[in-house]
Amino acid sequence: MSATTVSGGTTGPGREMRTIPVCPLANGTRLELQLLILNGRRPGPRVGICSGIHGDEIIGVQVIRDLWQSTDVDTLAGSLWMMPVANPLASEALSRNTPLDMLDLNRNFPGASDGWISQLMAAAITEHYLRQVEWLIDIHAGGTFPFVDYCMVLNDEALSRAFLCDLLYRPPGEHHHPGSASEVAVSLGIPTVVLEVGGGYERQVEHVERNRRGVVNMLRHIGSIPGPEERPGRQVLLNDVKTMRPRAGGLCYPTPPLPPGTIVDGHVKIAEIVSPYTFETLETILAPFERNVIVLSRNYVTRINPGDYMFMIGNMDTATS
């Protein structure tokens, strides 16, 4: 298989590797994005599956690896356009942000041809990837420290429900994450889903398998692969989620460990921020709603900086099924 520049076309059935050029780097290497394409023998949709927009979220890479190795192109309808590492620089640094400009790639779409390096990557992804696919599955996780478990509902609720996640979240308003790849896809009319499962100080095997099972079920829902679509069990659709960020840095002590899906009474203590130097409590974190469900958490003691992701808490009083 030879690597070629993406042109937007497709070849015959089989496996194909392409590259999306971005720019030369100061060290002499050329920054390119790898695209893995599975072309099926039957006509069907072109589905984009991407991960690694944040370099500290590697679960999606493992899911795409499994799909690349196990998907049978003889039974595949249409094609899967898979981008396992959307931000190679951040992946190398195991960083949420691009280390050369310290920008969050997923807040800089659709990018700019004369901007920062994150904006150059965003522009290349927008032109050669997002504008080429007909569906988009964007895989994320909690990163180095937080552990998360939910699926975002954007412009195709049935697709989001097909991921089989217990917790769904419909962001309010027109803009869910300004500058994100998923927001660009939604603006282009592409059915889009954002997955948020795993990460943190957790054994990831279960999270990878849950992602894989859910993505396969979504592909059955879309009609890309054969087989009966699994129907989800009881799902909770959240309409109000609060992101909890500390004002003080130090060590975050959850009290007790609160994995996603845990129901918490109103305004009880869920964590303390403790100085690692004097051991004094710098800040006490309380559950914000009368009835709360944990969406993202730090399940063990972790270092935390002011403004870091600490918890995402859903309001059960405004949730639906």
Structural contact between residues 121 and 105, judged by C-beta atoms closer than 8 angstroms = yes
Confidence of residue 200 (pLDDT cuts 50, 70, 90): confident
DSSP code string of 196-246 = EEE-SSS--HHHHHHHHHHHHHHHHHHTSS-SPPPPP-S-EEES-EEEE--
Confidence of residue 3 (pLDDT cuts 50, 70, 90): very low
Q: For the residues 37-53, what does the mean pLDDT come to? A: 97
Ranges in the chain annotated CATH 3.40.630.10: 4-236
Q: For the residues 185-200, what does the mean pLDDT come to? A: 96
Mean pLDDT, the chain, as a whole number? 94
Q: What pLDDT shows up at residue 8? A: 41
Structure tokens at 137: 């599955």
Structure tokens at 48: 């984009």
Q: What pLDDT shows up at residue 35? A: 98
pLDDT single digits (tens) 135-161: 999 999 999 999 999 999 999 999 999
Q: What pLDDT shows up at residue 221? A: 98
Q: What pLDDT shows up at residue 11? A: 58
SS3 91: helix
Q: What pLDDT shows up at residue 9? A: 46
- Is the pLDDT at 52 greater than 90? The verdict is yes
Q: What pLDDT shows up at residue 168? A: 98
Ranges in the chain annotated CATH 2.40.50.100: 240-318
Report the range of poorest mean pLDDT among 1-5, 41-45, 153-157, 182-186: 1-5
Q: For the residues 185-195, what does the mean pLDDT come to? A: 98
Q: What pLDDT shows up at residue 298? A: 93
Confidence of residue 175 (pLDDT cuts 50, 70, 90): low
Per cent of the chain over pLDDT 70 is: 96
For domain 4-236, give the CATH superfamily.
Zn peptidases (3.40.630.10)
Confidence of residue 297 (pLDDT cuts 50, 70, 90): very high
Exposure letters 142-169 (e unless 16+ CB within 10 A, then b): bbbbbbbbbbbbbebeebbbbbbbebbb
Q: Which one is predicted more confidently, 13 or 150? A: 150
Q: What pLDDT shows up at residue 7? A: 40
Q: For the residues 204-215, what does the mean pLDDT come to? A: 93
Q: What pLDDT shows up at residue 5? A: 47
Query: Cα–Cα distance between 135 and 132 in angstroms, integer?
Result: 9
Residue type, 55: G
Assign residue 202 a region (left: φ > 0; alpha: ψ between -120 and 50; beta: otherwise).
beta
Q: For the residues 41-51, what does the mean pLDDT come to? A: 97
Confidence of residue 2 (pLDDT cuts 50, 70, 90): very low
Structural contact between residues 304 and 273, judged by C-beta atoms closer than 8 angstroms = yes
pLDDT single digits (tens) 247-286: 999 999 998 889 999 999 999 999 999 999 999 999 999 9
- Is the pLDDT at 201 greater than 90? The verdict is no
Looking at residue 276, the DSSP 8-state letter turns out to be: T
Looking at residue 107, the DSSP 8-state letter turns out to be: G
Report the range of poorest mean pLDDT among 12-26, 42-56, 169-183: 169-183
- Is the pLDDT at 6 greater than 60? The verdict is no
What does CATH list as the number for 240-318?
2.40.50.100
Exposure letters 30-55 (e unless 16+ CB within 10 A, then b): ebbbbbbbbbbeeebbbbbbbbbbbb
Q: What pLDDT shows up at residue 257? A: 86
